[in-house]
Structure 1
Amino acid sequence: MATSKRRGGGGGGAGGEKKDLFHVVHKVPAGDSPYVRAKHLQLVEKDPEAAVVWFWKAINSGDRVDSALKDMAVVMKQQDRAEEAIEAIRSFRHLCSRQAQESLDNLLIDLYKKCGKVDEQIELLKQKLKMIYLGEAFNGKATKTARSHGKKFQVSVQQETSRVLGNLGWAYMQQNNYAAAELVYRKAQTIEPDANRACNLGLCLIKQSRHEEARQALHDVLLRRISGSDDDKVVARAEQLLHETEPVMHTSSPLDAGLSIASEEIMERLDIVLSEWTPFRSRRLPVFEEISTLRDQIAC
């Protein structure tokens, strides 16, 4: 590859400065390894098919395997090859470092969602909650650095828990399991209120014909009182959902009492875990053992 030869040279002076600027502008690493070639094909030459080939070569040669596997899965997802990406992560994640496992899980969740694999998505989200309960989230740290639109920011365990619960709620919604969805949405909102999740909770309640409660859930979004309610699209969605409650106000249907009582008790224990969370705390906590019973109670 001619371009890689130009990148791989060790010239100095003005030529070296131009080469460094090239890597900065195109956000590609320096060198001439399989991984570098893959990134150049992906980001500069815009050739995803060839990039995947070189990502495979990087993985097989042990060249930046963590990054190669994650980047290859992302490119495959963009090519509508999500099933292949899932199999690649499952087959080769054992070659990756411990620090890479969490981001690989996040990728898998997105891929499961794209493929409509709801059961797999739910199981993986539960595993992520288990790591939080055991004090192993963020590789044992209280916060992690995340990136969005090129900017870095810190995410706390509480914020991550709320996000995971929100994703779990949406997955239950796809199964029409509205009682389970309501449970996890309400818990997510007690940890960190969010306008989009409030809309999802409102939709969940509407699906259960509990329209007055749905209006209450949407109230703070319409008044722009919670995080994310400054987004006009989210407020418009809340208004649309509110409109759906108007023709059948004051109607409701009861929850499955056994499900609600058992699950609420479980979720109350989550508050204790989060308030006392420290990295690698005792693994004898009974919390996840009890929460795992949700598999029989609300994941069916």
Structure 2
Amino acid sequence: MIDHPRIPLAGVIGSPVAHSKSPRLHTHWLKTYDIRGYYIPMDVAQSDLKEVIAALPKAGFVGVNVTIPHKETVLALADVVTDRAALIGAANTLIFRKDGRIHADNTDGYGFIANLKQNAPGWTASAGPAAVIGAGGGARAVIASLIEVGVPEIRLANRTRNRAEALRSEFGAKVIVHDWVQAGNMLEDATTVVNTSSLGMEGKPEFRIPLDALSPKAVVTDLVYTPLRTTLLEQAAAIGCVTVDGLGMLLHQAAPAFERWFGTRPEVDQATRDAVLGA
């Protein structure tokens, strides 16, 4: 009898999850590095989450990505939670360890910074204030990572001010909350501008914050990547800013997870982007 090695499995858990680009991304890397493994999307209801996660390691899963609406809930199901996942209050990556313990991490902030460094090579965190639009889960990861790399001041505006105030109370005095109607004013002398809201996404309200105060020396990035070139990025490029689309964050946040699951650190290159975009 031949003893076949177990083929490692990974995937993404969310609801809905059919739109996720992660299966295309990880499948590309599995093929590129000639790794015997599979990555599949799994639509899992909140009521089934605990039972499903407990069963996956028994079926050969080495880990999963976690997306909406489970990113906060899974922290309570993990045995080990990294400092950055605890700080952000959410996990996007679970690693099923050989000792049976579940390790929860959040690589969104890492992906955000790695995307900036790759696609805006002259960017430096300490150059000046950052302006962040939106106060949801994406903003938490962005703010935590900006503080970690040394941004001196973070200006934050959200349509519902109390959500922005809640982030200020968690992340401290470096975060300064601005009224939503004055969001355009916080762009003045900002060297980094980040849209973490859904404004400008296909099917969502348009991005209407005026960019009159935006300096052409600023680096502007958008977490939205459908469309790839958002209204914010188009307008910022016309002003003369270096712009960075949101797809790179998706690619870079996936790399550490792939390495933990499959043992190879993948490269985020043009072929990776093309594979995910279906080019």
Q: Do both share a fold (TM > 0.5)?
A: no
Provide TM-score, normalisation by structure 1.
Answer: 0.27
Q: Kindly indicate which of the two structures has a greater share of residues assigned to strand.
A: 2
Provide TM-score, normalisation by structure 2.
Answer: 0.28
- Which of 1 and 2 has higher RCO (CA within 8 Å, sep 6+)? 2
Bigger radius of gyration among the two: 1
Q: Kindly indicate which of the two structures has a greater share of residues assigned to helix.
A: 1
